[in-house]
Amino acid sequence: MSSSQNGIKNGAQRFNLRLKPELKVRLGEMATKEGYASVSAYVRQLLARQVDGEATNRQIGDMEQKTVATINRLSRDVGQLRLQLLATYSLVDSLAKVVLTCLPEPSPQMVEQATAAAKRRYDRLLLSVAQTMKGQGPAMLRELEKNVRT
């Protein structure tokens, strides 16, 4: 007996399935509508899609769980950053109020000289800040200068 006589074609094995007549008619209509040569070809394609879909659904579910966990972690991180930013803003605001309250403005004759001295002190401050930012001094100084001067 050849493999095609015994129901084996291209490594495929015969599988019998009992269907209610109404379901077989509906499957036949769908197979014709979809352009399949037979109900068997249509059912094989549906089964293959279902089996492949289950594995894909599991993978998608895993990815969704990882994505949700990442979003939750990032949400907590953003919340912490928000609090740190608020604290920094409050500190700078308080310091600015102290400086503006306690330091007198220079006289009109001294404005130019005071401005030049303030620029030198400001440049030293930027350098000090950049050096304290985890050893990334020059790069951070350039970044700070870009943000301050724009």
* Residue at 8: amino acid letter: I
Query: How high is the pLDDT of residue 142?
Result: 65
- Cβ-based neighbours of 8, under 8 Å, separated by 6 or more: 14
Q: Which pLDDT score, from 0 to 100, does residue 74 have? A: 95
Instruction: Say what the pLDDT of residue 1 is.
Output: 40
Q: What's the pLDDT score for residue 4?
A: 42
Greater model confidence, 140 or 18: 18
CA–CA dist 97, 84 (Å, integer):
20
Please tell me which residue, 9 or 120, carries the higher pLDDT value. 120
Q: Tell me: pLDDT of 24 over 90.
A: no
94: DSSP letter: H
Query: What pLDDT, in 10s, does the model give residues 44-99?
Result: 888 888 777 777 778 888 899 999 999 999 999 998 888 888 888 888 888 889 98
Can you give the pLDDT at residue 34? Answer: 85
Domain borders along the chain are 108-150
Residue 107 has pLDDT above 80, yes or no: yes
The token duo for 125 is: 């401050």
Does the predicted TM-score (pTM) go above 0.85? no
Residue with tokens 């037979």: 38
Helix (H, G, I), strand (E, B) or coil at 9: strand
Q: Which is higher by pLDDT, 29 or 53?
A: 29
